[in-house]
Amino acid sequence: MNTRLTFASAVLVAAVSGLGCQSTASAGATSSTAAADPSSAPLGARGVQKSNAGANPGHAGKGTPLTPEPGHALAAFAEGCFWGTENTFRHVAGVTATAVGYTGGHTESPTYEAVCSHTTGHAEAVLVEFDPKVVSYRDLVRVFYKTHDPTTKNRQGPDVGDQYRSAIFTLDDEQKTTAAAVIAEEQPKLQRPITTEVAPLLRFYMAEDYHQQYDEKTGKESCPLPLR
């Protein structure tokens, strides 16, 4: 399985690019320029390869019902800043589409500013559409645990707040069972307790356009930081 999980100098890059909830105005201005002409964005220190994955998993919208393509399935994960999380999953063989957004909270139609206020309960999450014939849900959960620190509650590296929590949002009982099984596999490998929240995926709200495929648009890799 090609997961493209390269994390050399992760701490250095996080210090530069993992700035958490910067103002939407400044983040939007930077990424909107890149979005207009992604090819003009300079590559970051480690570079970011473009992915062939699509950007409309499950025909996601602002809290609308999710429907994957025939033969495909959906998964949802939160592991810190959703820029880096999406970039990771977009390079997993068998992932056909991804989008970043907000879920797990108690408010409707959240915005980036609202989520950053720590009053919505929403996590920065990535919705993944995948082909189970190529990659299993269990393998996706294992990727999730290889690419962040699940032992720091409401925090990934320099990013602090409930929107940065470790969470698996499940779509059915089989996913819930699989998530629990992988957690049981991972816990003995760690010195601290896993804090990952496992909860049903309710409404998923697509984030603002400039957040989508942010790393590919800007050529920079973002948080989260891997534990190992």
Domain boundaries, the chain: 10-218
63, 205 contact by CB (below 8 A): yes
How confident is the model at residue 77, as a pLDDT?
98
For the beta carbon of residue 188, count every other beta carbon within 10 angstroms. Answer: 6
Backbone angles phi, psi at 79, to 5 degrees: -150, 40
Average per-residue pLDDT in the chain?
83
115, 109 contact by CB (below 8 A): no
How confident is the model at residue 20, as a pLDDT?
63
How confident is the model at residue 221, as a pLDDT?
82
Higher pLDDT residue, 113 or 27? 113
115, 53 contact by CB (below 8 A): no
Lowest mean pLDDT segment, chosen from 29-33, 76-80, 146-150, 173-177? 29-33
Identify the band that residue 91 occupies on the pLDDT scale cut at 50, 70 and 90. Answer: very high
Higher pLDDT residue, 157 or 91? 91
Angle at 196 between CA 191 and CA 198, to 5 degrees: 145
Residue 70, class by beta-carbon neighbours within 10 Å (0-12 exposed, 13-18 middle, 19+ buried)? exposed
Higher pLDDT residue, 29 or 105? 105
Q: What is the mean pLDDT of residues 121-127?
A: 98
Rg (CA), the chain: 16
- Say if residue 49's pLDDT is above 60: yes
How confident is the model at residue 203, as a pLDDT?
97
How confident is the model at residue 30, as a pLDDT?
34
Q: What is the mean pLDDT of residues 83-98?
A: 96
Q: Is 116 a catalytic residue?
A: no
pTM value surpassing 0.85: no
Domain 10-218 -> CATH class: alpha beta
Q: What is the mean pLDDT of residues 167-194?
A: 98
215, 42 contact by CB (below 8 A): no
DSSP-derived 3-state class of residue 213: coil
- Say if residue 110's pLDDT is above 90: yes
How confident is the model at residue 207, as a pLDDT?
98
Q: Which of 21, 81, 116, 223 is catalytic?
A: 81
- Say if residue 68's pLDDT is above 80: yes
